[in-house]
Chain A
Amino acid sequence: MTVINQEKCTGCGTCVPYCPLGAISVVSKKAVIDQTICPNCYVCVRNKVCPFDAIEKQEIDTFIGQFQHIISDPVETTEQTGVPGRGTEESKTNDVTGRVKKGEVGICIDMGRPGIGCRLRDVEKVAMAVTSAGLKLEGEDTTPLAMLMEDNSKGKIKEEYLDTNVLSIIIEGKCPMETFPEIIKALQKVEKEIDTVFSLGVMVRVDENGYSPILEQMEQLGLPKPYRGKINVGLGRPLITE
């Protein structure tokens, strides 16, 4: 947990602009951290932004507190906690893992990105919408979100975690290419019901020219043509050709 040592704090306000979520403010000449917003990303601590060394870490002793911190701080190592990183390697190693094969679509919904943060309540809304549209979510061995689920097949998160705020968390899964339009329709509906944003990634196998029929589906759905992406250039070995 990130706290301000009230004795050391001079109220200078230097720390305020550094917090990505705007969780720090100066009240009655002392800095305070809104604990309902701060997910312990440790940007303020790691970068030593306080000239008086008044920002301190306190031990996090709950599972959900540790989860919230690990998912929000990319520097944190995850080995001791059992939280398996922050998500799958999606396209990055697909040339050797073959996680998403020809005819399939991998969906990566980066909840809270860019830089807004999100409550798990909104994550659940989106996860439930896409699972009922036919997306099969990744399990506990590949993605941390699954650890919070009461029912991963339905995208239902345990009630006690729903108010937790995180800097971002990824809903990941895959479906057959034919199901893609249903997923997009579900996202178009649920995006109006959440109090945050998400960034959407759609991952597919491509031919030697970098083409996939998913581009036609996107056009038919009225989605803007994607112009930016992450290309795995097929140099991993042994290469999966499926």
Chain B
Amino acid sequence: MTHSLHRSGTLESLKGDYVWFMYQAKGINDTNIKEKAEEFIAAAELVGSENWGDVKTGPIVSYPKEYIKQNIGNKSRLRGVFTSRKQVTEFLSIIKQKNLGTSVVISGLLDEVLSACKEAGVTPHTINYSLGIWGKKELLPDDDILSITTMCGHHMISPNLVKKLVQDVKKGRITPEKAAWKLATFCPCGIFNQVRAEKLIDELKNKS
């Protein structure tokens, strides 16, 4: 599963986009997950995670936080997004102190995340590098659209829907903020970054 690995966009835009994960491994450290998940959520909320969720229930852009928390079980997978390196550093510092024993993963620009690790005093163990898109690339939508659709790594967001919403924004039928929020509800994991999407949609509305 590599659904957060291949987010595209300019370096500047990706500086506002990080995904956090809590992972337990079956038979190794998969006990008391609800308690641990609540600690993760508390830390993520404290530093301002704009979206998070559990794929078993859904993301906070679609469901009340309390409802998602109530439904957490030993097979839950918690994940969410940060919009700055500072949040990543603070989050890692808190989680390190809590010493919960589950795996923690941050997906984002390597230079930024590695320096956040250093600042937080955690040691990188394994990296999965994104080596980009291969094959018949002429089938792809343009880069602006991909920067938005790849924020749902399971590709539940249609490029045509992004184009339609950009048109609706241009015509004044919807604000960029509402359009970004609508797109976020299509990502069941809670890793769509609606804050970044709003900026991208706002930029797109001024393009021809």
Contacts and interface: CB of A to CB of B under 8 A. Distances in A.
Interface of A: 16-20, 22, 41, 43, 47, 74-75, 77, 85-97, 100, 106, 108, 110, 113-116, 167-168, 170, 187, 191, 194-206, 208-210, 212, 214, 218, 223-224, 226-239
Given A210-B117, A226-B110, 5 more contacts: A93-B24, A95-B126, A110-B6, A196-B136, A224-B132
B133 A197 contact: yes
Interface stretch (B64-72, B159-167, B170-178, B197-205): B159-167
28 contacts: A43-B156, A47-B185, A74-B55, A74-B156, A77-B56, A87-B1, A89-B23, A90-B128, A94-B126, A113-B155, A168-B154, A195-B136, A196-B136, A197-B134, A197-B137, A197-B140, A199-B2, A200-B131, A201-B2, A201-B5, A204-B126, A223-B131, A227-B110, A228-B107, A233-B123, A235-B100, A235-B104, A236-B23
Contacts of B105: 91-92, 230-233
B195 interface: no
B91 to A, nearest CB: 10
Contacts of B103: 92-96, 232, 235-236
A182 to B, nearest CB: 15
Assign chain B's interface to a size class: 35 or more
B148 to A, nearest CB: 11
Contacts, number: 265
Contact of A233 (B8, B111, B125): B125
A233 B114 CA distance: 9
A88 B136 CA distance: 26
Most buried by B among A17, A203, A224, A236: A236
Interface in B1-24: 1-8, 11, 14, 19, 21, 23-24
A191 B128 contact: no
A37 to B, nearest CB: 13
Given A96-B25, A201-B129, A208 B1 contact: no
Given A74-B55, A194-B135, A202-B128, A97 B114 contact: no
B80 interface: no
A203 B126 contact: yes
A86 B153 CA distance: 13
Nearest 4 A/B pairs, CB to CB: A234-B125, A236-B103, A237-B101, A17-B160
Contact of A234 (B113, B124, B155): B124
B129 to A, nearest CB: 4
B130 A199 contact: yes
B130 A226 contact: yes
B179 interface: no
B74 interface: no
B41 interface: no
A203 B128 contact: yes
B102 A236 contact: yes
B57 to A, nearest CB: 10
A208 B124 contact: yes
A88 B102 CA distance: 17
Interface in B137-158: 137, 139-141, 146, 149-150, 153-158
Contacts of B129: 201-204, 214, 226, 228-229
Contacts of A92: 1, 21, 23, 103, 105
Given A17-B160, A91-B127, A116-B139, A229 B150 contact: no
B29 A237 contact: yes
Contacts of B155: 20, 113-115, 167-168
Nearest to B108: A228
Most buried by A among B95, B130, B188: B130
A181 B143 CA distance: 29
A89 B125 contact: no
B122 interface: yes
A227 B11 contact: yes
Nearest to B145: A115
A196 B135 contact: yes
